[in-house]
Every structure is written in structure tokens, then in C-alpha cells.
Amino acid sequence: MKANVTHFPLTFKRPAGTSRGVMNIKNSWILSLEKDSIVGKGEISIIEGLSAEFVDVTSFESTIQAFCEAVKKDDHDSIQTILTTNSSIRFAYECALADLKNGGLGIIFNNAFYSGKRKLPINGLIWMGSEDFMKEQIDAKLSEGFSTIKMKVGAIDFEKELELLHSIRKNYSATEITLRVDANGSFEPHQAVKVLEQLAELEIHSIEQPIKAGQWNEMHKLCSSTPTPIALDEELIGINDRKLKIELLETIQPQYIILKPSLHGGISGTQEWISLAEERSIPWWMTSALESNIGLSAICQLTAEYSNNLPQGLGTGSLYTSNVENGLVVENGFIYRN
């Protein structure tokens, strides 16, 4: 089997602000597998400062090239060694294999989403920035028909961010607009207690990762008494062993978990997280790791394998100045294939 990779950098239409800094360009690579003149594709997507396997472009591309050589040689041991510690490569490889098997048509799961018969509800994402910029985004998302808004918090003055949330609540009740916030681990545990109380007054649906990952006992304390539901995100990164996943879920006992296949063990790792969470009655939803439409379509198809009707974080395809056209449409708070 032939294997090659192409660097596919994505340029943001506007700088994307998070508590980890501002992104202007997002690095991605397209992995192509070819057999019998059929080509299957998958996207290797990393987020600098978040993807556990990424240090810099040079060393990461060396790993990708080594992986391609292992695939060409059918070196099973080397393939598995790389996949074990590289969620982004595992996701791309699993997608490319599925696409190849299904004729190179972009079919990862041949289900109702791929055929255009199922729409997935999604949240409208509000990036960090100046107060005016964030308000501008909020107004735009509401006018576009989104009923769930997700706002990044923790980078600018939190009191100003609260004011923005208050301004939404003045005009829209919790039954009209669902509000989610994403802290990206920006609060200290002692700060988080007050933050959770303030958010509860606004009937916030959930807060993603209020404190930095790795503080399991502190996170458990917050989850056990929080008036605002907590969703784990970064907490799951790098946890690929089944026993460790179970230990994390049973120690922290979160209200939700959020899954990104490129960060959480590819398709297979994500499916394992879902199975373990559902066994413990922990709801989940899916988000992208800022993939292009290639990876985004695959994640949508994976999501549609389940009967989960929570709004997903899958509306990121329109962030870039250039993208791959593959039939994905975002309309009135839903994503679907045309």
C-alpha cells in the first residue's frame, strides 16, 4: 500500500483567541493511502500547546514520514508504536483506511449523516478578544439561528465576560438560548468555586475544563458540589489506557465529557471513551480539533453513529480563508451534508 502526506496549513479569517494564546494559522496534514488505484484520505490535526504529541513542525513531520514508511513496508510493530502515542495520526490513519475501503468517496461511516438524511445540532463558537469583538460574534451567531452559544472565557477580564453573558440573558432566557462556556483550564481551584457560583446565576449549561488538567482530586471536589455542570476536555488528553480512563471517570465523576478524536485516541479511542462514559451514565458531546472539512466530515459521521442529540462542537469549518469543499453545510444551528 502506498502512503504519503501533504502539509495543509489553514489560515484563520480572523485571529482565534483562546486562554493559550492567539492562533493565526492552524497546522494540518493530509494522509493519503492508495491501493488498487483507490485513494483514502484522513486529516492529521494538531493544536499547538494542546496536542500531546506535538513539539514542533520539524520533529512532528519526521514522525509522520516514519509512519508512512512503516505503512509502505507493512511494518505492523512500528505502525502500532507510532499510533499508540499519536492520537492525531491514529485518527487520520483510521479515517484513511475507512475511506479506502469504501472506495475513496469520503465515506468513513456510511450512515444517515453521510447520505444527507440527518442533521446534527451544533453550538455557535465565540472566540476570545475585545469586548466589542466578542459581542459582535454573539450577535452574529444569534442572527444565524444558533440556539446554543459557546463562549471562551478566562483570557480577558472575567467580570467583562460575565457582563457579556448577562447581556445575553437579559434578552434570552435559558429555555430560548443555551449558554456554554469554555475556560481551557484558566482558573485556579480556589477561583473556580466562585466562578461556578456566578455562572449558575446565569443558568449556564456547562463549563469546560475550569481548572488545568491533571488535578483529579481538585476536579472531583468541584464536580461533587458544583452548581454549574462541569465538562472534561483537556483532562482526557494523553489518557489512552482503558484502566486509566476508568480510573479518571470514577475518580472525578464529571457531569459531561467532551471528545476530540484527534486528541483522544482517534476513532477507536473516542469510541472507547463513549462506551465507558455511557456505562457510568456520563453524557458526552463531540467537538473538532479545528480540522478542515476533511476531518470535520469524518467526525460528523462518527457522531452520527450514536443517538446523541446534544449540540456538538462541529461548526469550525467556516473559520478559514480556504478549505476543502465536500458538501458540509452549516445552517440555523445545524450541520449536514448537502
Q: What is the pLDDT of residues 244-267, one digit of tens each?
A: 999 999 999 999 999 999 999 999
Q: Which of 4-13, 215-224, 300-309, 316-325 has the lowest mean pLDDT?
A: 316-325
Contact predicate 286/299, CB 8 Å: yes
How many whole angstroms separate alpha carbon 165 and alpha carbon 170? 9
Residue 17 has pLDDT above 80, yes or no: no
Is residue 194 annotated as part of the catalytic site, yes or no? no
* Grid cell of 338 as nine digits: 448537502
Same fold flag, 2-101 and 120-337: no
- The per-residue pLDDT for 19 is 58
Residue 126 has pLDDT above 90, yes or no: no
**CATH architecture, range 120-337:** Alpha-Beta Barrel (3.20)
Q: In CATH, what class is 2-101?
A: alpha beta
- The per-residue pLDDT for 281 is 98
pTM of the model: 0.94
Of these residues, 152, 170, 194, 243, which one is catalytic?
Answer: 152
203, exposed or middle or buried, with CB in 10 Å at 0-12, 13-18, 19+?
middle
Angle at the Cα of 101 (from 330 to 65), degrees rounded to 5? Answer: 85
Closest listed residue to residue 153, CA positions, set 194, 214, 210: 210
In which band, very low, low, confident or very high, does the pLDDT at 203 lie, cut at 50, 70 and 90?
very high
Residue 62 has pLDDT above 90, yes or no: yes
Mean pLDDT of 221-242: 97
For 243-283, give the DSSP string.
Answer: HHHHHHHHHH--SEEEE-TTTTTHHHHHHHHHHHHHHTT--
In which band, very low, low, confident or very high, does the pLDDT at 18 lie, cut at 50, 70 and 90?
low
Closest listed residue to residue 260, CA positions, set 114, 88, 32, 12: 88
For 32-85, give the DSSP string.
Answer: EEEETTEEEEEEEE--TTT-TT-S-HHHHHHHHHHHHHHHHTT-HHHHHHHHHH
Residue 20 has pLDDT above 70, yes or no: no
Contact predicate 323/298, CB 8 Å: no
Percent of the chain with pLDDT over 70: 98
In which band, very low, low, confident or very high, does the pLDDT at 39 lie, cut at 50, 70 and 90?
very high
- The per-residue pLDDT for 331 is 93
Mean pLDDT of 158-175: 89
Residue 45 has pLDDT above 90, yes or no: yes
DSSP-derived secondary structure letter, 123: P
Is residue 260 annotated as part of the catalytic site, yes or no? yes
Mean pLDDT value across the chain? 93
Residue 89 has pLDDT above 70, yes or no: yes
Domains in the chain: boundaries: 2-101, 120-337
Residue 56 has pLDDT above 70, yes or no: yes
- The per-residue pLDDT for 196 is 97
Q: What are phi and psi for residue 95, nearest 5 degrees?
A: -65, -45
Closest listed residue to residue 258, CA positions, set 239, 283, 291: 283
pLDDT tens profile 98-118: 999 999 999 999 999 999 999
Closest listed residue to residue 165, CA positions, set 181, 189, 146, 145: 181
Q: What are phi and psi for residue 19, nearest 5 degrees?
A: -70, -10
Mean pLDDT of 230-235: 97
Residue 135 has pLDDT above 90, yes or no: no
